[in-house]
Amino acid sequence: MGRYRTALVFLFVFTTGTIFAQPERPIRRPANNELALETIEAPPHVDAPDAVQGLTARLVFHVSPLSGKGLLSQQVRDALKALDKANGDSTFIKLRAFVAGTGDQRRIQSIVTEEFAAKKWPLPAITTVLVGALPMENAQVVIESISEEKKNSVNPAGLVFVSAQPSVAQLEKAMQAAGAVPVRVSCFADSLAGAEAARAAAAKAFPTAAGSFVQTTRAGIGNRVSCEGVGRLRAAAAGVSPIERTPDAVLVRVPKLVFSGAQMAFVEQDSGVQQVYDRLGRAIKAVGGGEVLVTNRYSVAGFAARSEASLVIEGLPALEANLAVEVVAAVN
């Protein structure tokens, strides 16, 4: 019995030694005697342009429908899909996004760049603003778009940009005075009730215009409403200036316009604000822009934006930023 046990032990040792004591295989190295490591490169980061040029006669204006479905990322993608459908084959020039809720508004630009890169579309200029609320439960974003039609001349007589008015009724009067058909209306209210009232009034006064309506800060206190708009001039006027300014509007008959994204200021000193305007000047000049026609300023609640008119909002994509400015300019 002991003889069999000894034989079994020997057989086990011999077998395991045969299995595990295989000769080592040499590692094949490249000619330079260096082992190559496989690297996976991250996709290149692409920033939205500071400003984009478009043909005035071919510009079209849309606003994404509100949705309370999903988180911010899904709502942004759904909004872009809706704008794409409304756009047809038009090329996006400018996006302005109003974000509500607790979602990270910095995601707007990254999602836009992802979606546009996937479709191989040129990137538009982008402005993102954090507001208090939108007039739909769980809605976190509404996006305005400006696009250029491929061939159609939809604004042959030009456009009018009406500055902020204290009511929809006043905006309607300013549009009528300019001889324009409203194509987009944007109303900013202290409260959701004010935003809802403005939406109802705009639907009655401007049934064919796209519209966005927001509560500007989370406090939701006050009764103020300001409404700005873009209109299509009805008829070409002979012998008038390509740029005509009135107390409430600027009438534009120039062939091309430049739309900038918002530039932000991070300090309260005048030098920081001046840097914003310097950057905007360089941005519009780089794409042929000249005379500034429209200036929109967004001031974070609690920051005094000097004596210049400014829309007080909840926040900006950079947490330290307290002022953002965007412009529309004529092409030289």
Q: Which one-letter DSSP state was computed for residue 183?
A: E
E runs forming strands in the chain? 51-55, 59-63, 91-99, 125-130, 141-148, 159-165, 180-189, 210-215, 225-233, 243-245, 249-252, 256-260, 263-265, 289-300, 311-313, 323-331
Strands 125-130 and 256-260: unpaired
Q: Which two tokens stand for residue 215?
A: 């509560």
Residue 75 dihedral angles phi and psi, to the nearest 5°: -65, -35
Q: Give this prediction's pTM.
A: 0.85
pLDDT at 201: 98
Which domains, and CATH codes, for the chain?
Answer: 51-331 (3.30.1330.40)
Residue 206 dihedral angles phi and psi, to the nearest 5°: -130, 70
pLDDT < 70: residue spans in the chain = 1-45, 238-239, 267-270, 304-308
Instruction: Point out which residues pair with 130 in neighbouring strands.
Output: 99, 315
pLDDT at 22: 45
329 Cβ contact partners less than 8 Å away, ≥ 6 residues apart: 51, 257, 258, 260, 284, 289, 290, 291, 292, 293
CA distance 330 to 288: 8
pLDDT at 214: 98
| CA angle at 303 for the pair 110 and 224, rounded to the nearest 5° | 90
pLDDT at 21: 46
Closest CA to 180 of 254, 233, 111: 233
